[in-house]
Chains A and B, each alone.
Chain A
């Protein structure tokens, strides 16, 4: 069976693509078949076949709704009928070729009927409150749960539990969506209606406004309470069905139960959201009534305010402006900014390690050693240093040596004679005794 169904579906899809069948209708076309459907349903029309003359009468109503005159009405009707014929919503019922358009007859197809019926259903307030819809859903689910307890095989489960669950979910969603749309539309009308009442500012108008708002809020609050109560029961039934399926190892039940939970949650969420929205609207309108409508019925204050905004204000309001508390936390220090530069490619960087000059240190060490022995002679320091670093490097540092010796001892002026060192260099001797 399933294979046949799938095959038919594939063939139908192929035919649709091959014949390039599409569905283009304008609002006026749908309005026409809705009027036609309503005529047939109410028994106004004779039978199921409609003459061109009847359609013309209905078309006048469509033109009236659109606010169009009679100019080009015939052309618009012909175009509309052609679109409906192409969309398979309407068929010719005269069977034989007619000589005059006046003699044409038309009939709604099942597609056209369904389309019109759906639109009629959207505006029909059928009195199904959301709580009743959910309660009916719970009855269905409880029956399914009873059957689930007796199912022993997976095929039976599919037939007795899964399929009815899918059907119940689809029906629930359709009913709830219709109800929500109706409720939203009704509330939007109230939102539009309330300002007109408020503008009247009369005591009667204010009372009517309060009544309307109280009714809406009562409905929303009742709805929220019922929705939460009933959905809690539904969640419990779904949980029990899922437990049975898991005990028996039926894998298909889990995603189905999850899907149903999601749908129920979205319904509860919608109701909660509406409760919040309408609560906010209720507060706003009551605030308006309290601060404006009831204290300024003649709108004197409003008019005075309107006049005052045209001029530069010549008065002001005094407000407290205490200094803010000191902020004692440490100011965060931003990390240092590093400039990123690309390495130069036009030369290679070579590093040479140069040892620091050791000679000054060595000169001080020689001086210290000689001073420790009691006295240090300038020539002796030069002689010892020359052996390490060479005379050429020592001679430029002679003043430095003299300064060091004098800062660490006292000069002996009795022994200032010229001495010759290293076979050629003659220098005046300087002997320094340790202090």
Chain B
């Protein structure tokens, strides 16, 4: 019985914590792919949906008994930034690895300081620069790692398939039609409500339980 296996327990815990499971973890991926119908029925009992994204990865769409939350502005911005970097062909030279230092530097230099402050530390009155930016961005990076959007390998970050979730709106040229919005909300877990100002990169904020 699949539900009694140790592997299911690990996958269940990961999915309930909001983790995205991509192909790079072959064993987990294969387990879900082979038992997808059973798992889908299991989570339907919680009024939740186990989703396989067209890009291949799996995640749990919380709508029913399991609480869910919205990602903060900082996490969203950094996710989109890494999704953009993952589309650079030059990244294939380094086997898809991005240096953390380079990432921090690029985020700081390619985003206006005022936007950085609004995104990563909306409660702060002063404009974020230097080490303060790095600190906030690293918190968001930690969150992306925990949710399976990227993997940290020492001083490097490797974007996983799930990072393409941050390009959902870009596929609609950033302005989806009303019909597309409904579909994105229902099938991809996109939230168009105003993101709370409190939703910073900090783990305990941005809750929507």
A→B interface (CB under 8 Å): 191-192, 194-196, 198-199, 277, 280-281, 284-285, 287-288, 291-293, 296, 300-302, 304-325
* Closest-CB distance, A192 to chain B (whole angstroms): 7
Q: Mark B70-104, 1 if CB is under 8 A from A, else 0.
A: 11110011011101101101111101100000000
**Does B195 lie within 8 Å of A309, measured CB to CB?**
no
**Does B15 lie within 8 Å of A320, measured CB to CB?**
yes
**Does A305 lie within 8 Å of B170, measured CB to CB?**
yes
Q: Chain A: which residue is nearest B18 at the CB level?
A: A319
**Does A281 lie within 8 Å of B76, measured CB to CB?**
no
Q: Give the docked Cα–Cα distance between A292 and B170 (Å).
A: 13
* Closest-CB distance, B54 to chain A (whole angstroms): 9
Q: Mark B1-24, 1 if CB is under 8 A from A, else 0.
A: 000000000000101111000000
**Does B87 lie within 8 Å of A305, measured CB to CB?**
yes
B→A interface (CB under 8 Å): 13, 15-18, 48, 55, 59-62, 66-73, 76-77, 79-81, 83-84, 86-87, 89-93, 95-96, 110-112, 115, 118-119, 147, 161, 164-171, 173-174, 188-195, 199, 207-209
**Does A315 lie within 8 Å of B167, measured CB to CB?**
no
Q: Chain B: which residue is nearest A192 at the CB level?
A: B93
**Does B84 lie within 8 Å of A285, measured CB to CB?**
no
Q: Chain A: which residue is nearest B191 at the CB level?
A: A316
Q: Give the docked Cα–Cα distance between A287 and B18 (Å).
A: 23
Q: Out of B66, B90, B91, B195, which one reaches A316, CB within 8 Å?
A: B195
Tell me whether A302 and B62 are in contact in the complex, defined as CB-CB below 8 angstroms, given that A287-B161, A322-B17 are known contacts: no
Q: Give the docked Cα–Cα distance between A287 and B164 (Å).
A: 12
Q: Which residues of B contact A196 (CB under 8 A)?
A: 89
Q: Out of B84, B147, B171, which one reaches A319, CB within 8 Å?
A: B147
Q: Chain B: which residue is nearest A296 at the CB level?
A: B87
Instruction: Indicate the member of A196, A281, A291, A313 with the most B CB atoms within 10 Å.
Output: A313
* Closest-CB distance, A284 to chain B (whole angstroms): 4
Q: Which residues of B contact A291 (CB under 8 A)?
A: 55, 161, 164
Tell me whether A318 and B170 are in contact in the complex, defined as CB-CB below 8 angstroms, given that A284-B92, A310-B115 are known contacts: no
Q: Out of A296, A304, A312, which one reaches B173, CB within 8 Å?
A: A304
Q: Which residues of A contact B87 (CB under 8 A)?
A: 292, 296, 301-302, 305
Q: Which residues of A contact B191 (CB under 8 A)?
A: 315-318
6 contacts between A and B (CB under 8 A): A194-B93, A280-B95, A302-B170, A305-B80, A315-B191, A320-B17
Q: Which residues of B contact A304 (CB under 8 A)?
A: 169-171, 173-174
**Does B167 lie within 8 Å of A301, measured CB to CB?**
yes
* Closest-CB distance, A193 to chain B (whole angstroms): 10
Q: Out of B55, B111, B173, B195, which one reaches A300, CB within 8 Å?
A: B173
Q: Which residues of B contact A300 (CB under 8 A)?
A: 173
Instruction: Indicate the member of B61, B72, B174 with the most A CB atoms within 10 Å.
Output: B174
Q: Which residues of A contact B110 (CB under 8 A)?
A: 309
Q: Give the docked Cα–Cα distance between A311 and B89 (Å).
A: 24
* 7 nearest CB pairs, A to B: A319-B18, A198-B89, A320-B62, A322-B16, A304-B170, A195-B89, A313-B76
**Does B189 lie within 8 Å of A318, measured CB to CB?**
yes
**Does B171 lie within 8 Å of A284, measured CB to CB?**
no
* Closest-CB distance, A311 to chain B (whole angstroms): 7
**Does B118 lie within 8 Å of A321, measured CB to CB?**
no
* Closest-CB distance, B171 to chain A (whole angstroms): 6
Q: Which residues of A contact B90 (CB under 8 A)?
A: 195
* Closest-CB distance, B6 to chain A (whole angstroms): 15
Tell me whether A322 and B169 are in contact in the complex, defined as CB-CB below 8 angstroms, given that A305-B87, A308-B80, A312-B119 are known contacts: no
Q: Give the docked Cα–Cα distance between A284 and B91 (Å).
A: 9
Q: Give the docked Cα–Cα distance between A291 and B195 (Å).
A: 28
* Closest-CB distance, A408 to chain B (whole angstroms): 68
Q: Which residues of B contact A312 (CB under 8 A)?
A: 73, 77, 115, 118-119
**Does A305 lie within 8 Å of B165, measured CB to CB?**
no
Q: Give the docked Cα–Cα distance between A281 and B60 (Å).
A: 30
**Does B170 lie within 8 Å of A317, measured CB to CB?**
no
Q: Which residues of A contact B92 (CB under 8 A)?
A: 191, 194-195, 198, 281, 284-285, 288
**Does A311 lie within 8 Å of B115, measured CB to CB?**
yes
**Does B69 lie within 8 Å of A318, measured CB to CB?**
yes
Q: Give the docked Cα–Cα distance between A319 and B112 (Å).
A: 28
Q: Chain B: which residue is nearest A301 at the CB level?
A: B170
Q: Out of A296, A310, A313, which one reaches B73, CB within 8 Å?
A: A313
Q: Give the docked Cα–Cα distance between A296 and B173 (Å).
A: 12
Instruction: Indicate the member of A192, A196, A314 with the most B CB atoms within 10 Å.
Output: A314
Given A302-B84, A313-B73, 11 other A-B residues pairs in contact with their CB atoms under 8 A: A287-B96, A288-B92, A302-B170, A305-B166, A309-B110, A314-B194, A316-B73, A316-B193, A317-B190, A318-B190, A320-B15
**Does B48 lie within 8 Å of A320, measured CB to CB?**
yes
Q: Out of A287, A288, A317, A324, which one reaches B76, CB within 8 Å?
A: A317
Q: Which residues of B contact A311 (CB under 8 A)?
A: 115
**Does B111 lie within 8 Å of A310, measured CB to CB?**
yes
Q: Which residues of B contact A198 (CB under 8 A)?
A: 89, 92
Q: Which residues of B contact A292 (CB under 8 A)?
A: 86-87
Q: Give the docked Cα–Cα distance between A324 and B96 (Å).
A: 32
